[in-house]
Structure 1
Amino acid sequence: MFKVSLVTLSVAAASSAYSAGFSLGDQSATASGSALSTAAASSEDISFSYWNPALFLNAKKNTFYISGAYIIPKMDVSNIEATDATTSSISGSSTNTDSVDNTIVPSLYYAMPLSDDTVAGFSINAPFGLSGDYGDDWAGRFHATETGLQDIALSFSIAHRVNDWFSAGASVQVHKAEVTLESAVGTTVSSQGGEGVGKIEADDIGYGYSLGVLFTPVKGTRIGVGYRSKIDFDFEGDVKYTSDSPTFSGLVSAKSLVDADVSDSLTFPDILTISLEQALTPKLKLGLSVIRTGWSSMDEGLNIDFDSDQDNSKLTFGFEDQWMYSAGLTYDYSKKLTLRTGIARDNSPVTDEYRSARTPDGDRTWYSMGGTYHFSETSSATFAYTYVDIEDVSVDRTDLTEDSARGTYTADYSSSASVISLAYNMSF
């Protein structure tokens, strides 16, 4: 029997090629230009409040910042071999080069100073997300076809400058997450019931918070620490089955595959960011960051409960906590133009044992550049480009009990991504 799995929340072949796991790293075109090297410590603008809410203090007036990242992922899947649950070989192309979708990731921030030392703010972000579609006819279709995740977070923040060398901030967040999964179900053998399509759609609202501090021990040195909490979701939705096979109704009659309500609980990871912004000269700044993502909160993966006679479905993620390391430079070329560059190493939480068609993730290296042009003292535009090089990986799903209803699957993956980010900042 086909065991449905909400693996849409893993790093499926999708636009999450930008950041390891299924997190989305582009919350600020300014930060992306130096590969997030000053994420929790930057003095540049309010968009860095995503990593450290104390950085809303970068606003001296009412300030509006809007950013968008256009993610262009590329993934080549080769040497594909698969069997269904009856061990029958599945026909289909041995390669797949059109399984990831371009997407836009927006962010919006607004800051309102309440006094010289206190700033209130709110923001809208997409912290986690992915989008991809292998297609309905490829050989690995019993493991994955369409996958989608959208997480939108609304945050309300307050930041306060305690004295000349210490500031703090906090926020509360409301997350709305929606997930979609589609894959082939049944078998390719008509006498065993034939082949159909199963699709899950589910959603939930979760809540989180963030805390941050900023230290300026000496002029030109800023040290920031920011923490974004875990978010608990109790997803609820339904699964629906369709088929053109005349024998597929037998599986429905046997209650092996029936439309039903589904549910599962997942905890999205927490994120700790530690950053340094150090002035090297009056025009040149060095940025260093380490970012820890607590992916082990999703280690056990999914255990989908069906409101029917269908057995629970399990997909083990085996995720491990991981660190991202980045370094970058910011150079004030002139009063109007600021230039940035950076490099980062972003380690994948996916382990070899549990890598799958929905988690073909590998370690990443970012190469970033960007700049800001100041039209006036109150408005500016920012551009950033990041190339993400992802290590080649292989998937081997030939010896896992939880795949008994999906069959076996092996393939090699080669992936990369380009990210173009634009932002506009205005104060009044």
Structure 2
Amino acid sequence: MTLRNKAPLLAASALVSAFGFQGLAHADAFYLEAQSARGAGRAFSGEAADTGATSLWWNPAAIAGIRDGSAAISATAILPKGDVVDNGTLIRRPGQAFAAVGGNSTSRDPINNGVLPSGAVAYPLTDRIAVGVAVTSPFSFTTNYEANSWARYSADKTRLRTVDIQPSIGVAVTDWLRVGGALNVEYTDASLSNALPNVLASLPDGEQELKGDGWDLGWTAGVQLHNDFATVGISYKSSIRHHLKGSLDVTGLVGPLAASNESLDGAKASFTTPGQVIVAGRVRATNALTLNAQVVAYSWSKFDTIDLGAPLNVSIPENYRDSWSLAGGFDYDITPKATIRAGIQRTKTPTQDGLRDARVPDANRWTYAAGGSYQLTSHMTLDAAASYVDFSDTTIDRVTAAYAGTAAQTPIITNGLLENAHAVVLSLGGRLTF
């Protein structure tokens, strides 16, 4: 493969890596969980077992048997902090010995603050059948490393936005059994860039930028089992095969690499996001206190390769592993109109040591949450929540090579650390019945 053909391959590889950076926000790898202000207050510990439009994203059975129309809207501010630190990363340009990669050795807070909106509405067709739609953004973030960061060859600027539209139906089969199904129509728009090394360290870096978007489909199905004091919810959200098409620009390469500078339309990449098995329970311990628990199993091993279309026709290994989250919490009615809640969640990262790069510095984390609701009128309730997410320190250690397989192959032995990473997450929402 010529150097000219290899540059699009490297850019397409970077595209997929960009999707992983959401791990430092409020969820598992690049899945964003913050779709409800009510759920955020208890660390998302009972969503698949709760009822109404607010829980529609987690389980379409949540709207089965509702008596009134309902709507919910929320906005979540995500305020991440953390340091991505060089610990001795080396680069070897053609014909030269390994040398320090250079640049700023500490990138502070490379993930931008952001606000995530979400909403849902549901309406009963009969006393047992209801329809609804949820609009969410399960993968959205912006990162911005300095141009001279030590991580510049794997990450520079990244922007990802998704919109998931989930039309749903729920049916109360009996007084104790509710079922639901939904279609997930998902739009993805992404742009990202990273630096490219020239053959001499004295030369300024080149740059590549890749943009793409696409529409894809998935589905969700769920059940709920009810009695007088407890509810169990079980749902499955399918994996989604994403197909992006866009453009690639490579600039700033000189000397023997100059032939790789180009503008290319029609660049393609496809990859699979994980399915989720969600099991939740809610138990009314007293007239005022409800206990919640939820476990989610993610099939992240489906994100094993990035497949690149013609003319490259190659696959890039990603090697994620399956992961899980476990949450517990409570709701307590302090008055007929006011409720307080709190919860804690443990999440395991699907990224693996030896395969983690600066675009995907995900880590195991604990989430501590508290919130409350207040019923303003018989038809309107406000929800608010605050969460603190504490990430474990971890390594950034994925070995890469620019221009791999060519005479200009440039290995980069990444040796970095994620340190002091945490996030404050603030949610505000409202629920309306009609």
Alignment TM-score, normalising by the size of structure 1: 0.91
Contact (CA 8 Å) 2:251, 2:262: kept in 1 or not? no
CA distance in 1, matches of 2:184, 2:396: 36
CA distance in 2, matches of 1:107, 1:423: 9
Amino acid at match of 1:135: E
User: Is 1:421 the counterpart of 2:427 in the alignment?
Assistant: yes
Q: Partner of 1:199 in structure 2?
A: 209
1:174-193 paired onto structure 2 within 5 Å: 174-187=185-198, 189=200
User: Is 1:212 the counterpart of 2:213 in the alignment?
Assistant: no
Deviation track 1:388-408 (CA, whole Å, cap 9, x = no partner) reads 111100112348799754622
Contact (CA 8 Å) 1:20, 1:364: kept in 2 or not? no
Contact (CA 8 Å) 1:223, 1:276: kept in 2 or not? yes
User: Is 1:64 the counterpart of 2:65 in the alignment?
Assistant: no
CA distance in 1, matches of 2:249, 2:32: 29
Change (3 A) 1:258 1:276: same
Equivalent residue for 2:167, pick from 156, 161, 165: 156
1:381-392 paired onto structure 2 within 5 Å: 381-392=382-393
Q: Partner of 1:359 in structure 2?
A: 360
Q: Partner of 1:38 in structure 2?
A: 46
1:334-373 paired onto structure 2 within 5 Å: 334-373=335-374
User: Is 1:47 the counterpart of 2:58 in the alignment?
Assistant: no
1:223-372 paired onto structure 2 within 5 Å: 223-243=232-252, 248=254, 250-253=256-259, 256-260=260-264, 261-300=266-305, 302-305=306-309, 307=311, 315-372=316-373
Contact (CA 8 Å) 2:65, 2:129: kept in 1 or not? no
CA distance in 2, matches of 1:17, 1:376: 34
Contact (CA 8 Å) 1:22, 1:130: kept in 2 or not? no
Contact (CA 8 Å) 1:269, 1:297: kept in 2 or not? yes
Q: Partner of 2:28 in structure 1?
A: 20
Secondary structure in 1 matching 2:56: helix
Contact (CA 8 Å) 1:15, 1:73: kept in 2 or not? no
Change (3 A) 1:82 1:285: same
Amino acid at match of 1:237: G
User: Is 1:107 the counterpart of 2:118 in the alignment?
Assistant: yes
The structural deviation recorded for 1:101 is: 0.5
User: Is 1:74 the counterpart of 2:81 in the alignment?
Assistant: yes
Contact (CA 8 Å) 1:100, 1:133: kept in 2 or not? yes
The structural deviation recorded for 1:79 is: 3.4
Secondary structure in 2 matching 1:278: strand
Amino acid at match of 2:425: V
The structural deviation recorded for 1:281 is: 0.5
Contact (CA 8 Å) 1:10, 1:317: kept in 2 or not? no
Deviation track 1:299-332 (CA, whole Å, cap 9, x = no partner) reads 23x244565xxx6776532211111101001101
Contact (CA 8 Å) 2:196, 2:402: kept in 1 or not? no
Q: Partner of 2:394 in structure 1?
A: 393
Contact (CA 8 Å) 1:178, 1:204: kept in 2 or not? yes
Amino acid at match of 1:127: P
Amino acid at match of 2:125: L
User: Is 1:409 the counterpart of 2:418 in the alignment?
Assistant: no
Secondary structure in 1 matching 2:54: helix
For structure 2, which runs of at least 5 residues remain unmatched after alignment? none
Deviation track 1:209-228 (CA, whole Å, cap 9, x = no partner) reads 11010001x31110000111
Deviation track 1:78-97 (CA, whole Å, cap 9, x = no partner) reads 23433445044332121110
Secondary structure in 1 matching 2:262: coil
Contact (CA 8 Å) 1:357, 1:395: kept in 2 or not? yes
Contact (CA 8 Å) 1:303, 1:314: kept in 2 or not? yes
For structure 1, which runs of at least 5 residues remain unmatched after alignment? none
Alignment TM-score, normalising by the size of structure 2: 0.90
Secondary structure in 1 matching 2:38: helix
The structural deviation recorded for 1:295 is: 0.7
Secondary structure in 1 matching 2:40: helix
Amino acid at match of 2:178: S
The structural deviation recorded for 1:46 is: 1.8
Change (3 A) 1:83 1:239: farther
Secondary structure in 1 matching 2:228: coil
Contact (CA 8 Å) 2:64, 2:179: kept in 1 or not? no
Amino acid at match of 1:39: E
Secondary structure in 1 matching 2:292: strand
Change (3 A) 1:194 1:402: closer
Contact (CA 8 Å) 2:107, 2:146: kept in 1 or not? no
Change (3 A) 1:188 1:203: same
The structural deviation recorded for 1:53 is: 0.5
The structural deviation recorded for 1:279 is: 0.7
Contact (CA 8 Å) 2:154, 2:358: kept in 1 or not? yes
Contact (CA 8 Å) 1:387, 1:419: kept in 2 or not? yes
Contact (CA 8 Å) 1:67, 1:423: kept in 2 or not? yes
The structural deviation recorded for 1:10 is: 3.5
71-80 or 95-104, which moves further after superposition?
71-80
Deviation track 1:15-47 (CA, whole Å, cap 9, x = no partner) reads 75211210011010111111111111014x421
Q: Partner of 2:184 in structure 1?
A: 173
Aligned residue pair count: 415
Amino-acid identity (%): 27
Contact (CA 8 Å) 1:287, 1:329: kept in 2 or not? yes
Change (3 A) 1:252 1:312: farther
CA distance in 1, matches of 2:50, 2:270: 36
CA distance in 1, matches of 2:241, 2:37: 28
CA distance in 1, matches of 2:371, 2:426: 10
